[in-house]
Amino acid sequence: MSDPIALTKITIEQDKPPHRLAYIDGFEEPFHYGVHGGVKEFYGVEPETEYPSTLDHIVASAGG
Amino acid sequence: MPPYPDKIKTTVQGTIEAPEGVLKITKIQCHYDLKIPKGKREAAERVLNVFETKCPVAQTLKGCVEFEHSWTIEEYEE
């Protein structure tokens, strides 16, 4: 088996739920995850600040 | 078990390969560092063991990406 081409390392810190911060190795500023829209309603939470969900990020990634 | 403040930190490593000439995430290793009240270890491990089945992202990627979950638990007096 060959060596991997890349390893991506990320640290996730829990802020006040449902807000999380994702620190990607090599970048100082974190990405923010949270809930909004239908995901917010699904979980029945009302965050102080709305952020994109992890599912939004997957969909955005698929768009390039 | 309160997840905040300073009770959970996750370290994630994704392995990227090109098995068919296109970059692809083949494996994601998740390590959870948890701080929980003393006596709650069994409940915490019960949750951790079913985490993948309740995680929207893991369920989305299931079948395409191999997941590994591990954890370190530190108990504290309430």
Q: Which one, of A59, A3, A62, lies nearest residue B16 by Cα? A: A3
| Cis before A18? omega within 30 | yes
Model's pTM, two decimal places? 0.90
Helix/strand/coil for B64? coil
Chain B residues near residue A8 by CB distance under 8 angstroms: 13-14, 16
Give mean pLDDT, residues A8-37: 97
Chain B residues near residue A58 by CB distance under 8 angstroms: 57, 60-61
pLDDT tens figures, B22-59: 999 999 999 999 999 999 999 999 999 999 999 999 99
Between B31 and A1, name the one with better pLDDT: B31
Q: Which one, of B29, B31, B25, B30, lies nearest residue B64 by Cα? A: B25
pLDDT tens figures, B1-25: 778 888 999 999 999 999 999 999 9
| CA B16 – CA A36 distance, rounded (Å) | 30
8 Å CB contact of A11 and B56? no
8 Å CB contact of B12 and A9? yes
